[in-house]
Amino acid sequence: MPALPWTTGTHTPAAGDQLHVLTSRLPLRSYADVPRFLYWTMRIRTQLQSAPGCVGFALDAKLLTKTFWTLSAWSDKAAMDSFAHSGTHAKMLADMKGRIGDPSFVDSAANTQDIPLSWVDARARIQK
């Protein structure tokens, strides 16, 4: 499955704004959970498209290793936290509990000129 390209969110930052970035690596425990995770992924993308404070997002699915990478930029950490604990994303967290192996999450900062964010930079942040 090819990486889903950067999708612009609802929040348009002003030039020079500092953004909150979340990079995640989500390895599934079982190949049997891949269809379930893909189902949630498509629904969460819909939620992201209207999430307050969302600057943009992308997904890279490595199906052979059952590992999913997410990348998102936000106006601030509060907007990201609000999204993560609401709506479809909150339902996914409950449903996928115990199905994700050892996830990695990295919070970082970016400037508006860094948008759209690069997978090369994202992977470098999470592998430090």
Q: Give me the mean pLDDT over the 72-84 stretch.
A: 97
Q: Give me the mean pLDDT over the 14-38 stretch.
A: 95
Segment (H or E) for 110: strand 104-111
pLDDT digits (tens, 9 = 90+) for 59-73: 999 999 999 999 999
Check whether 1 has a pLDDT greater than 90: no
Contact 19, 13 (CB under 8 A): yes
Handedness of CA 128, 66, 59, 43 (dihedral sign): negative
Check whether 105 has a pLDDT greater than 80: yes
Q: Give me the mean pLDDT over the 103-123 stretch.
A: 91
pTM of the model: 0.91
Q: Give me the mean pLDDT over the 20-45 stretch.
A: 96
In DSSP terms, 106 is beta-bridged to 23
